[in-house]
Amino acid sequence: MPTWLIVVIVVVAVAVLGAVIWLVSQEMQRKRLQQRFGPEYDRTVEESDNPRAAQRELAERERRHKEFDIRPLSASARERYAREWAQVQEKFVDEPSTAVAEADHLLVALMGERGYPTEGYEQQVADLSVRHAKTLEHYRAAHTTQQKSDGASTEDLRDAMVRYRTVFEDLLTDGADDDRQHDHHDRRNGHDRNGRDRDDDRLEVHETPETGHQEHQASAQPRTEWNGGR
């Protein structure tokens, strides 16, 4: 066999091997990002014209996140935020729009104390997606309602409060990732295994028989523990 043919075969073999390694690494990267970001991975890919570009964006979010000094809250800070949340939730009874706006501000304040930048909503969403992707859609939905709070129905505002509370508690407890911790977290925070919040009735709207007007009611006693004031 001539030398030049051997060289060609070796070059082709190396190129094929390199291509295989690259494809395998790309697939491993895709699976890793998909596992970490969950629904946020699918959303980012759908919004991008190029799946590779979407993966690069998610990888860049990870890189940026590594530069943050994410700090756990002290017990006193958790209790303080829980009390503040309970006050906001109580305000929903008489001022639902104001309460939803304050819930948004309190969540941003909590992000800042944990070590997240708070320079803008879109960046907040991107930064939270790395570690709190499982509650990110709640944040998006609640923020959308909050932005149109003047035209939102009471039920929409109530839904926004519940969603804000979900994100708030996730940040407060640092969003445990394994199933055992999630089950424990759900039990502590009033969720059943189907994800339904048993405490949603705190923000129910009732109709008074005397006047026919709607009024807002919360349960008799607000929660004051660190897990979101429930």
Cα–Cα distance, 109 to 115 (Å, whole number): 10
Beta bridge partners of 215: 206
127 token code pair: 């930064």
Both tokens of 181, joined, read 């911790």
Q: Locate 61 and state its tokens.
A: 């979010």
What pLDDT, on a 0 to 100 scale, did the predictor assign at position 180?
Answer: 36
Question: Does the predicted TM-score (pTM) go above 0.75?
Answer: no
The predicted structure's pLDDT at residue 200: 53
| Residue 11: predicted pLDDT | 82
DSSP state of 216: E
> Is there a contact between 44 and 37 (Cβ–Cβ < 8 Å)?
yes
CA nearest to 181, candidates 167, 168, 170, 196? 170
From first to last of its 230 residues, the chain has per-residue pLDDT tens of: 778 777 777 788 888 778 777 666 666 767 777 777 878 888 888 888 788 888 889 999 999 999 999 988 888 999 999 999 999 999 999 999 999 999 999 999 999 999 999 989 999 999 999 999 889 999 999 999 999 867 889 999 999 999 999 999 999 986 333 333 434 444 444 444 344 444 554 555 433 333 333 443 333 233 433 333 33
**Are residues 126 and 181 in contact, defined by beta-carbon separation less than 8 angstroms?**
no
